[in-house]
Amino acid sequence: GAVVSQHPSWVICKSGTSVKIECRSLDFQATTMFWYRQFPKQSLMLMATSNEGSKATYEQGVEKDKFLINHASLTLSTLTVTSAHPEDSSFYICSARGSHTFGSGTRLTVV
Amino acid sequence: AQSVSQHNHHVILSEAASLELGCNYSYGGTVNLFWYVQYPGQHLQLLLKYFSGDPLVKGIKGFEAEFIKSKFSFNLRKPSVQWSDTAEYFCAVNARRMTTDSWGKLQFGAGTQVVVTP
């Protein structure tokens, strides 16, 4: 139980374009989901907390206008990286409150 | 400030050797403690977790961890490692001060890269 699914698993995009990443809770309802970023050889850093039906809470230093989060249903949260740049290339991972498991991650490469 | 410290950044050992990875945290209140493993090119997998009860927790793949409250530690151990245990290991903690509070965000240690040689 408590499976979190993430899609896509990898994406390559051109600089200046936007990319949407989906995080779904498959067998439970998640009112709160978390988005993390992991740079190569580094630990996970929490970017934001996604709350169903309300605004996301962003960690210090994370631009809310660049990383748009939408949590429109109890099973889906999306992270949109807007106007992506090469420095946004990273591994993005989601989790859901109470599940203690993580999505399989999305490897974003901006060229 | 709340923090999670993993003492070793890199560990290299031979197959059949014993492994112990240190994790210390600085949180007040009640804590939940986790160890995750990330195999090369893969996503995070939960190895084990401690919420309450027996401070010696057994996880998957032969791993165990011991919560020592007085030392604010949650060290991970495996008596005999295999080559397939080569991975990065992350300790993570969340906490709350009072039972009426929500659990805080999950904070990760910097990770320990473990390389097991044949």
- pLDDT exceeds 80 at position B22: yes
Instruction: Give the closest of A43, A93, A104 to B111, CB-based.
Output: A43
- Nearest chain A residue to B110 by CA distance is A43
Query: Residue B77, Cβ neighbours under 10 Å: how many?
Result: 14
Residue closest to B20 by CA, chosen among B70, B71, B89, B72? B89
- pLDDT exceeds 80 at position B101: no
Q: How far is CA A61 from CA A42, A64, A67, B25, B56, in A?
A: 17, 9, 11, 23, 37
| A100: chain B residues, CB-CB within 8 Å | 34, 46, 49
Task: Report, as an integer, the average pLDDT of B7-12.
Answer: 92
Q: How far is CA B8 from CA B30, B34, B113, in A?
A: 25, 17, 8
pLDDT digits (tens, 9 = 90+) for B45-76: 999 999 999 999 999 999 999 999 999 999 99
Contact status of B105 with chain A (Cβ, < 8 Å): yes
Residues 59-88 of B with CB under 8 A from A: none
Pairwise pLDDT comparison (B106 vs B92), residue with the higher score: B92
Query: pLDDT class for A27, splitting at 50, 70, 90?
Result: confident
**B90 touches B108 (CB < 8 A):** yes
